[in-house]
Amino acid sequence: MKRILVIHGPNLNLLGKREPAVYGKTTLLQINNSLKALSRRLKVKLTIKQTNVEGEIVDLIQGARAKFDGILINPAAYTHTSVAIRDAIAASGIATIEVHLSNIYAREEFRQKSLISPVANGTVLGFGSKSYLLGLEALLDIIS
Amino acid sequence: MKRILVIHGPNLNLLGKREPAVYGKTTLLQINNSLKALSRRLKVKLTIKQTNVEGEIVDLIQGARAKFDGILINPAAYTHTSVAIRDAIAASGIATIEVHLSNIYAREEFRQKSLISPVANGTVLGFGSKSYLLGLEALLDIIS
Amino acid sequence: MKRILVIHGPNLNLLGKREPAVYGKTTLLQINNSLKALSRRLKVKLTIKQTNVEGEIVDLIQGARAKFDGILINPAAYTHTSVAIRDAIAASGIATIEVHLSNIYAREEFRQKSLISPVANGTVLGFGSKSYLLGLEALLDIIS
Amino acid sequence: MKRILVIHGPNLNLLGKREPAVYGKTTLLQINNSLKALSRRLKVKLTIKQTNVEGEIVDLIQGARAKFDGILINPAAYTHTSVAIRDAIAASGIATIEVHLSNIYAREEFRQKSLISPVANGTVLGFGSKSYLLGLEALLDIIS
Amino acid sequence: MKRILVIHGPNLNLLGKREPAVYGKTTLLQINNSLKALSRRLKVKLTIKQTNVEGEIVDLIQGARAKFDGILINPAAYTHTSVAIRDAIAASGIATIEVHLSNIYAREEFRQKSLISPVANGTVLGFGSKSYLLGLEALLDIIS
Amino acid sequence: MKRILVIHGPNLNLLGKREPAVYGKTTLLQINNSLKALSRRLKVKLTIKQTNVEGEIVDLIQGARAKFDGILINPAAYTHTSVAIRDAIAASGIATIEVHLSNIYAREEFRQKSLISPVANGTVLGFGSKSYLLGLEALLDIIS
Amino acid sequence: MKRILVIHGPNLNLLGKREPAVYGKTTLLQINNSLKALSRRLKVKLTIKQTNVEGEIVDLIQGARAKFDGILINPAAYTHTSVAIRDAIAASGIATIEVHLSNIYAREEFRQKSLISPVANGTVLGFGSKSYLLGLEALLDIIS
Amino acid sequence: MKRILVIHGPNLNLLGKREPAVYGKTTLLQINNSLKALSRRLKVKLTIKQTNVEGEIVDLIQGARAKFDGILINPAAYTHTSVAIRDAIAASGIATIEVHLSNIYAREEFRQKSLISPVANGTVLGFGSKSYLLGLEALLDIIS
Amino acid sequence: MKRILVIHGPNLNLLGKREPAVYGKTTLLQINNSLKALSRRLKVKLTIKQTNVEGEIVDLIQGARAKFDGILINPAAYTHTSVAIRDAIAASGIATIEVHLSNIYAREEFRQKSLISPVANGTVLGFGSKSYLLGLEALLDIIS
Amino acid sequence: MKRILVIHGPNLNLLGKREPAVYGKTTLLQINNSLKALSRRLKVKLTIKQTNVEGEIVDLIQGARAKFDGILINPAAYTHTSVAIRDAIAASGIATIEVHLSNIYAREEFRQKSLISPVANGTVLGFGSKSYLLGLEALLDIIS
Amino acid sequence: MKRILVIHGPNLNLLGKREPAVYGKTTLLQINNSLKALSRRLKVKLTIKQTNVEGEIVDLIQGARAKFDGILINPAAYTHTSVAIRDAIAASGIATIEVHLSNIYAREEFRQKSLISPVANGTVLGFGSKSYLLGLEALLDIIS
Amino acid sequence: MKRILVIHGPNLNLLGKREPAVYGKTTLLQINNSLKALSRRLKVKLTIKQTNVEGEIVDLIQGARAKFDGILINPAAYTHTSVAIRDAIAASGIATIEVHLSNIYAREEFRQKSLISPVANGTVLGFGSKSYLLGLEALLDIIS
């Protein structure tokens, strides 16, 4: 049974409350429940984390080396600024999928660049909470 | 039963033969067969087109208005240069998903920009031929 | 009696349906009818073409050399990307007027540049369908 | 009877004498006479001003609020540098047409940008003195 | 006996008539005749095509895979804008020489960039119609 | 008793009428009255000027040298373009506070730069008419 | 009684010791004491935090949603790099004032950009420790 | 006897008082006296003007057409921003020399560009008040 | 006896495992052992820290003020993005040496900029683990 | 009999030894021998020089004015940096052909610019040592 | 009696022959003779050198330290590219005047930047050979 | 016994005299003596050269191929402009260390880029003359 680490980046704990025009009304709890439902169907073991601290995301990715088969990450605001998370993914040696709720390439200039994409196995973006489910499916496909 | 138009952009007819280090060994026929298999399972009606001519892609998108419920497009080389295809999608009023085999944001500078993303409902990139299948699934989810 | 070739670029056949907030509610048929009415009043002979294919616009301009006294062109999306249409106009040796429905300089960054303006005799932009009528009038003024 | 304010920006009083290769041989007096002739035909009341001082153009536009139905302006050199004139037009609430004698987009780099276009109702450029006449006609069309 | 495909890009059919100050007075017919004369001397079989449509150039290059030993291409205006032609050449697996009549690096800024050069085996530029002959000679040298 | 010169830049005389969505509904008269009320409470002597002419603002600043203890300026549109006002402030040797009604750094690109900030003692921006009152208070604090 | 959260960003705990030529000799303790004195006068309840960790600032802002009426923040070094703090403020729905001791627009290039300004209600900068007091006053004005 | 118009741009009336570290201690009166002394020696007739208003400098240059044989101008702050003064000089048809007290190319980025240099006959910069004397000598050399 | 604080930035704990083609096979333990061996020979007291959290590096540097004579830091990914660490070093008043295992100026564009170099006493880069030893030696040289 | 000067720029004397993956295995001696063989066939007189000093290349070009009918130059590293060589060619008045072994436009960013191309009669690049032979042939064609 | 070193940079030995439209018809010999005539009148001792080699110019400037009171230099092509000459002038400690025959700021983009201006005492440009004479006069003025 | 070539670039012969605020008071002779002292201790054979001519540095590097085991180079001003020296090092096949006295990344913009770093084995910068000693040590470490 495959083990997947899901990492939610900064401010995603506010989902549903935060700027619903941009991020939709679904809460993080609902996303996590959808992910768990899908994981039961796909028979994978899910561990879900959220943190606002860049370095803790680096810690999580580093810690995943021996314990997980894949990482599903929404780096949120750190997508555009974190070389450290990028390096951690490149160093992790684990299949990693990047997801975004919104279409970052249709937003402000400074969001139209992902430091994470070049080191991710693939990216799913713009489908709202559905991005996570597609990403999980794709991740399982890769590590199988 | 939903009707989906799949559009393959320029040079995708060479898949499997063209630079396999970048685009993988799967041929366009195999991708189309996978798409058809999935479409049967999802019970959607698929029409598949490939053309190398920018203006014909515009024609296809325009023609889709009355006849299709959604568009799944890999604009390939025109991703980075075609304002005309962008305008056609924006004008079409139909749900449109953008897919890419490779991770365009990890390649040459001039490929790290999509004129299509801002008008697409969502984007799936970097999963090889699997990008199409995830995209089809996402598209159906949106138009249902 | 002067002969004028009117060229409508990509997606203009969707006028009235396409993003009316940007392009207005007038259809291409209505624009063509206004142009014809004005041409009767000005006593010029009008030929009107629309195509989505960049190369066909080049063909039209090249073919105009012997047969027309002036060209009235709305290059639409190709305004910003087509060196080929620019070269065709420069090579045609015929008076050419560029028109735009919307004010392209008040829109997205990538639309704020015209490759066509430097080789056109003049430009009329931002007056909606009225841009065509002013352009036709100006064109006749030049070739008389 | 509609009242129109025509504003000629800096150095336009030198027309006919100044760089005729770029701006033509027509003098400002001749342009004004053509405008007056057309205004009689269109039955509009014209007031014509010329000044070299940016702030006086701002004064003129501000003063037009109650007294005029439309503004026809050739901002000349201030086209490329004046945020103040732009703000005045945006604040005026009166239909405003921008005209240029030459094709500014075919000249020096620093002239290929108009701060005025985004707040004007429309722009006519490159037709020499004819630009004014087309602009007046278009302006009347808008305010009628 | 080697088979060579010669592709003339957009507007080259106007050679001799189009801006002779830039492109010289030689017509495309004369260039083709020179190429044929040289091909007879070099004992290669020549097929010559001209089209204004970007996608048709892509078609031609794709179609060359089994039928030709080398391609001699003047992409003209598409040199600076076509990722599709670039991808087609990279995918073709056939030796390809890029030629230009004029020195594109001594002209307008937007012409001082070739998307084709990085995927061509070599480039000859600035020698007028002689560029083609040098290119053909070089091509034969490579495929022999 | 300290003497303060308040300078309102171009178009601020239109406040309340001009784009209220951006600048609020308060008129310049109301701002001046608030400033006067505060000046009475703070026991400073206020002189208030408004002009649309860049050079007159330079004149005002130059003239302030002997007659005022501090300057409170909203350079408005000239914030982004006037080296002359910047030089006048640098040369004046008088404490100068820059204020803006709106948050200029959240607006158009060309407004996201202040030539004045580097030579001002401090800047208050984004609080609507309250910016002036905070600025006056700060100015008094500095010159006391 | 209004509750205000004051957040001091990285290195502000060194105030008075750190580069006094740039930041002045006032210590953070002295600033906090001034703020407390003013808060007593204005009858607001102040909570003051300082941290060097970007993610902890995000945590503080998120935590403020139910417990505070306004935020007074000096993001210090994170002003120029933190999309995460920007997103947290935008998501918080609480009035937020940005303050800076120095004039960031008169310093190094990389400091002349604030990611925070566009989401703050207003900004006060360049007045040394007085910036905080003006900011607190402005904040109270907004939330009253 | 040659007639020369000397134009001092904005803030030059403050010379000697304004930032002596940059501009030296010489006053404008002293510069004018040196110029007059030299003019007597060179037997030219000098008219000297100073204004802070851009448009008035344009007026002065336009008015010089019939009345002067040459212009000696220090455009000061307008050097870097005024297209209007540039156009006036180009239109004037009179020999024009540009002078600067300081070395503008060794100062702030925004001062390292002169819109005036391309239309001046020559430029003298960096010699303090001596720049004017060298410029006058050079001007006389040109118009003789 | 001099006291030196060694700070290893994010992901350096993965050394030897992480992309050995770029960073070599030496582990962080081996580097620390080499540093300790050298410190014994040089008779300095070494304290070694590693953390992935930007703010904790700021904390470490701030805490070093009274307790250490010098800092040897490899800021790793934060080299390119952290204004906070830069400010902490500038504020620390302690001699600080920056080291890098790889040649950051021969890698990706975004790594070819160090925010740390301008505030470090010196930099050693590109020598693999030897960079640390050279840096320690240089640091001792400076603080002696 | 035509006299041709061949100039090999810096580091070309290392050909065959230097980075053969980029420059091929042919030595400069072999290239010179091929050139001599061709020159005998074409009946031209060849003089061949190699130097690493920019100024000596300028000397060679200047000295060619009276003594040679054409120049064949591979400016190597100076292609991208030498205004002096460019000026010498422009001043020489002799037909000059630029050649490159590799395709400079497919290499590092800083090599994708030639200061020489705009002043050369033509350019041949990317054919390895064959570039020289094609260049010599083209040169003879021009000067005949 | 003051000793002045005059340095002519690359290609200036071709003056009169080289592009007379840009540089005039005066030869270097004539300029040198004018300089000598003026030097006799001003009673300074002149040494004149010309070289095409950047490093030799550096040698000349270095050698001037003990032997000359001032340097008059036209760095020609090296103006825009030579950090070495700039450093030599900054290191020389001798008054140095930069002169140019043409107006470099009215020419190609790459010539519109002087690396030398920021370290020169002053610059004279655009007066043809007269630039040297004005420069010599100014230099004497400075060192007296 | 290892043989090392030390190359000092332009203006380094002026060390101690040249801008001591930037480069320190140590003379080149003192640096060479320190290097020799260290070389005796490390038992390596040192050859030391200084030249101001770019091409001679290329000559020295080329000549080192057979005769030296390593190069220690301070390219000084040529660091930022010389593709030729970069190519020579890349071609030399000998271990090469780049050193700088000052921290080039904390100086003018144009010095914040090294063309040499990407082809050097490592770089030591900012330690004054100590940079050379550390560099020599590192070089010996690499070639042993």
Instruction: State pLDDT tens for residues G64-75.
Output: 988 999 999 999
Name which of F63, F51, F62, F64 is nearest F11 in CA terms: F51
CA distance E110 to chain B (A): 14
Confidence of residue F2 (pLDDT cuts 50, 70, 90): very high
Arithmetic mean of pLDDT, D29-57? 97
The string of pLDDT tens digits covering residues G2-32 is: 999 999 999 999 998 777 777 778 999 999 9
For residue F19, pLDDT over 80 is answered with: no
Tell me the residue type at D1: M
Cα separation, C77 vs C12, in Å, equals 10
- Residues of chain E falling short of pLDDT 50: none
Chain-chain contact of F127 with G121 (C-beta, under 8 angstroms): yes
Do chains B and E meet with 3 or more Cβ pairs nearer than 8 Å? yes
**Which of G14, G52, G81 lies at the smallest CB-CB distance from I55?**
G52
Chain-chain contact of B88 with C55 (C-beta, under 8 angstroms): no
Cα separation, E107 vs J115, in Å, equals 13
The string of pLDDT tens digits covering residues I80-105 is: 999 999 999 999 989 999 999 999 98
Cα separation, G73 vs G8, in Å, equals 6
Cα separation, L37 vs E18, in Å, equals 73
Q: Return the pLDDT at G16.
A: 84
Are H121 and H99 within 8 A, CB to CB?
Answer: no
CA distance E98 to chain J (A): 10
Are I10 and I52 within 8 A, CB to CB?
Answer: yes
CA distances from A107 to A62, B92, B119 (A): 31, 21, 11
Burial class (CB in 10 A: 0-12, 13-18, 19+), E109: exposed
- CA angle B72/B74/B75 to nearest 5° reads 120
**Which of B59, B81, B93 lies at the smallest CB-CB distance from C52?**
B59
Arithmetic mean of pLDDT, I12-32? 86
Are J97 and K25 within 8 A, CB to CB?
Answer: no
Q: Return the pLDDT at L74.
A: 98
Q: Number of C-alpha atoms within 13 angstroms, CB side, residue G122?
A: 30
The string of pLDDT tens digits covering residues E4-44 is: 999 999 999 999 877 777 777 899 999 999 999 999 999 99
End-to-end CA distance of chain L: 10
Confidence of residue G41 (pLDDT cuts 50, 70, 90): very high
For residue B19, pLDDT over 80 is answered with: no
For residue D31, pLDDT over 90 is answered with: yes
Cα separation, B110 vs B119, in Å, equals 19
Are J132 and E129 within 8 A, CB to CB?
Answer: no
For residue K71, pLDDT over 80 is answered with: yes
Chain-chain contact of G55 with A81 (C-beta, under 8 angstroms): no
Give me the sheet containing L45-50, strands edge to edge. I45-50, I3-8, I70-74, I95-100, I122-125, L122-125, L95-100, L70-74, L3-8, L45-50
Q: Return the pLDDT at K21.
A: 78
**Which of C105, C134, C138 lies at the smallest CB-CB distance from D114?**
C105
Active site residue H23: yes
**Which of H53, H56, H84 lies at the smallest CB-CB distance from D11?**
H84
**Which of H10, H53, H54 lies at the smallest CB-CB distance from F87?**
H10
Q: Return the pLDDT at K25.
A: 85
Cα separation, J74 vs J70, in Å, equals 14
Residues contacting A11, CB < 8 A, separation 6+: A18, A52, A76, A77, G58, G62, G84, G87, G88, G91
G8, G14, G112: which to substitute to probe chain I, counting the most I Cβ within 10 Å?
Answer: G14
Q: What is the DSSP string of K61-113?
A: HHHHHHH-SEEEEE-GGGGGT-HHHHHHHHHH-SEEEEEESS-GGGS-GGGS-
Q: Return the pLDDT at F12.
A: 96
Chain-chain contact of C58 with E13 (C-beta, under 8 angstroms): no
Q: Return the pLDDT at I66.
A: 84
Cα separation, E34 vs H23, in Å, equals 68
**Which of I62, I91, I115 lies at the smallest CB-CB distance from G19?**
I91
With CA atoms as reference, the chain G residue closest to A19 would be G91
Q: Which of C8, C78, C100, C132 is catalytic?
A: C100
Q: Which residues of B are catalytic?
A: 23, 100
Residues of chain I whose beta carbon is less than 8 angstroms from a beta carbon of chain A are 9-11, 13-14, 17-19, 51-56, 76-78, 80-81, 110-111
With CA atoms as reference, the chain K residue closest to L10 would be K84
Chain-chain contact of C123 with D123 (C-beta, under 8 angstroms): yes
Q: Which of I8, I78, I100, I132 is catalytic?
A: I100
- Residues of chain L falling short of pLDDT 50: none
Q: Return the pLDDT at B50.
A: 98
Q: Which residues of G are catalytic?
A: 23, 100
Cα separation, E6 vs E97, in Å, equals 10
Are E73 and E99 within 8 A, CB to CB?
Answer: yes
Q: Which residues of K touch J61 (CB under 8 A)?
A: none
Chain-chain contact of A114 with B131 (C-beta, under 8 angstroms): no
I11, I79, I102, I110: which to substitute to probe chain A, counting the most A Cβ within 10 Å?
Answer: I11
Do chains G and F meet with 3 or more Cβ pairs nearer than 8 Å? yes
DSSP-derived pairing of the beta strands E122-125 and H122-125: unpaired
Q: Return the pLDDT at D64.
A: 96
Q: Show which subunits contact G, needing at least 3 CB pairs below 8 angstroms.
A: A, F, I
Burial class (CB in 10 A: 0-12, 13-18, 19+), D37: exposed
CA distance J53 to chain L (A): 4
Alpha helix stretches (DSSP H) within C4-109: 20-23, 28-42, 54-67, 83-92
Q: Return the pLDDT at L53.
A: 97
Q: Return the pLDDT at A98.
A: 98
For residue J21, pLDDT over 90 is answered with: no
Cα separation, I64 vs C82, in Å, equals 60
CA distance G93 to chain I (A): 26
**Which of E103, E118, E120 lies at the smallest CB-CB distance from J123?**
E103
With CA atoms as reference, the chain E residue closest to J117 would be E105
Q: Which of H8, H78, H100, H132 is catalytic?
A: H100
Residues of chain L whose beta carbon is less than 8 angstroms from a beta carbon of chain K are 9-11, 13-14, 17-19, 51-56, 76-78, 80-81, 110-111
Chain-chain contact of D56 with H54 (C-beta, under 8 angstroms): no
Alpha helix stretches (DSSP H) within B4-129: 20-23, 28-42, 54-67, 83-92
For residue B83, pLDDT over 80 is answered with: yes
Rounded to 10°, the helix G54-67/A54-67 angle is 110
The total of other beta-carbon atoms located within 10 Å of residue C40's CB is: 11
Chain-chain contact of F122 with G122 (C-beta, under 8 angstroms): no
For residue B15, pLDDT over 80 is answered with: yes
Residues of chain L whose beta carbon is less than 8 angstroms from a beta carbon of chain I are 103, 105-106, 114, 117-127, 130-131, 134, 137-138, 141-142
Chain-chain contact of K10 with J58 (C-beta, under 8 angstroms): yes
Are K46 and K35 within 8 A, CB to CB?
Answer: yes
For residue A137, pLDDT over 80 is answered with: yes
With CA atoms as reference, the chain F residue closest to D78 would be F81
Cα separation, J106 vs J126, in Å, equals 9
Cα separation, B134 vs B125, in Å, equals 10
Chain-chain contact of F14 with D91 (C-beta, under 8 angstroms): yes
For residue B131, pLDDT over 90 is answered with: yes
With CA atoms as reference, the chain C residue closest to D106 would be C118
Arithmetic mean of pLDDT, A42-55? 97
Chain-chain contact of A81 with G86 (C-beta, under 8 angstroms): no
Do chains H and K meet with 3 or more Cβ pairs nearer than 8 Å? yes
Chain-chain contact of D54 with F51 (C-beta, under 8 angstroms): no
Chain-chain contact of G127 with F142 (C-beta, under 8 angstroms): yes
What residues does E45 pair with on adjacent strands?
Answer: E3
**Which of F53, F83, F87 lies at the smallest CB-CB distance from H53?**
F53
Chain-chain contact of F142 with G125 (C-beta, under 8 angstroms): no
- Residues of chain C falling short of pLDDT 50: none
J53, J60, J83, J110: which to substitute to probe chain K, counting the most K Cβ within 10 Å?
Answer: J83
Q: How many helices (H) and strands (E) does chain F have?
A: 5, 5
Q: Return the pLDDT at D133.
A: 97
Tell me the residue type at I54: E
What residues does G125 pair with on adjacent strands?
Answer: F123, G100
Which domains does chain B show, CATH number per domain? 2-131 (3.40.50.9100)
Q: Which of K23, K80, K105, K132 is catalytic?
A: K23
The total of other beta-carbon atoms located within 10 Å of residue K16's CB is: 16
**Which of A19, A54, A110 lies at the smallest CB-CB distance from G55?**
A54
* Residue K24 zone, left/alpha/beta (φ > 0; ψ -120 to 50; rest): left
Chain-chain contact of A10 with G88 (C-beta, under 8 angstroms): yes
Residue reference for tokens 């030689």: E26
Cα separation, L5 vs J30, in Å, equals 30
Arithmetic mean of pLDDT, J93-102? 95
CA distance J65 to chain L (A): 24
Distance from CA of residue F85 to its chain's centroid? 12
The mean pLDDT value of chain D amounts to 94
Q: Return the pLDDT at D65.
A: 87
Q: Return the pLDDT at H21.
A: 78
